[in-house]
Structure 1
C-alpha cells in the first residue's frame, strides 16, 4: 500500500501566491472613464459664442429681415434661382460627359491621346474661370469669322456661360473620373476581359459601378461648388440668382438684405444637395465599410 502511495503521490493544492488576493481584488475594480473637463469647457465657450453671434444677427436692425422676407420669393429672384439651377445641372452633365471622355483618353495606351487629355486638363485647371469666361465673351475680337460665320454677337451671355463653365468643369471632372477608375482593382478588369466582354460593356457593367464609390464624394463637392460658382456669370450680365438681386439693390439701395436673400437661397439649395449626396454615397457604399 505504501509502495502504491509512493508511486502515485496524492496531488496537493498549490500554495496561494502573495499576489493572488490582489488579482481577485483587481477583478472587482470599477473602470472610471477619463475626465474631459477641458473639452466640455471649450464646448460651452463655443456654444456661448455662437449664441451671442446668432443673437446679434437676429436683433440687429441693419440686416433688415423684414425686407429679406419681402424679396425672398419675388418673381425676379425666383427666375434668377431657376436659371442658376438650370445652369448648374447643364454644366455638370456636360462637364462630366466631356470629363469622362478625357479620363478614358488619359488612361488609354495611345501616347498622343494621353498627351491631348493631359494638356487639356493642365490648361483649363491653370486658368482662372473668370478669365475663361471673358475670353469666350470676347471671342469676336479674337476670331471675327470662323468657317465663314461671323462670331461678333454670335454667342449670347448664357451660351458663353455654358461653354466656359462646361470646359472648366470638364478638366476637374476628368481627374475625378480617372481617380475612380484607378481605384478599381486590376483583377476585376482582367476577369471581365477573360469573359470576353467588350470595352464599352466592361466599362459600363464592371468598372463604372465600382468606381462610383470613389467618384460620388468629390462629384458631390463639385456639384455644390458649381452651384456657388455660377454666381461668377453675373460679370457677363447673365441674370442668375446673384445678378437678379443686384438689379434690385441697384434700384432700391438695400444691399445687405438683398445679398442675404441670395445667401439664404444658396444655403437652402446646397443643404438639399448635401442630403442627396449623403444618400447616394450610402447607396454605392453598400457591402463596404463605408455603408456605415
Structure 2
C-alpha cells in the first residue's frame, strides 16, 4: 500500500475527526459503569473503546459507499474519497468489512449474550445509511445505531440486558436526535435540493425547539436512571453541567447558521463526556 492510499483510507474513516467515535464511546462507557456497579475492569474498557473506534470507522466506509451519489451535490461532503473516486467502492467495502471483523474479534472475548446482540448492532449500523431514502426522520435510526453500545455493555458486564439498559438507550436516543439534527441543519439547503430526507427538513421551523427538548429529555432520563445508584449531589451537578452546555448550543443554533450548527454538533462529545465523568465520579464516591 502506498503512503497516499493509506492517507486516503485514514480520510475515509475520519481518523482526523475523533468527535464521531467519541459520541459513540461515552454512552457505552457510562453504561459499562452502571452495568458493573462501578469500574468494570480494564478488559471491558479496552474492548468497548477499541470496538467503538473500529465500528465507527467501518460505518463511515458503508455510509460513504451508500451516499456517494448524494455526496457529490453537498458542499461539505463533495471531497470524500469514495465520492471523488480516489477510493473505489470495492476498496471501501473491503476496508469496512475488515474493521468490522476486528471489532467482532473483540466481542468474542466477552460472552455469548454480547456476541448475540452484536449481530443486531451490525444490522442496524448497515441499515442506517439507507434510511434517509425512506424515513422522514433517519436521525431516529441513527439514534438506535449510536445507542446500541448501551445494551451491548450490559450484555458484556451482566450477561443480560435488563430494562435499565433500554431506559438508558432511550435517553441516549434523544441526545443523538439533538446533535444529529444540528448536523442536518448544516446541510439543509443541499439536502432539499437533492431530495434527501432529514429531521431538519421534516421539523422545519420547529427544529431548534425540538433539539432543545431532546437535550432536556436526554439529560433527564440519565439523571432519573442514576438517582439511587450514585449520590444525588453528583447527579444534580452533572445534569446541571450538561444542561449548561445544551443552553450554550442554543445560542449557536438559534439563528440556524451553517457555522453555528456545525460548531454545536462538533462540541457534543463534551456533553457525553460530562455524563460519563459524572457516572464515574458517582460510583467512586458511593
Query: Considering the TM-score relative to the shorter chain, is it more than 0.5?
Result: no
Name the larger-Rg structure. 1
TM norm structure 2: 0.29
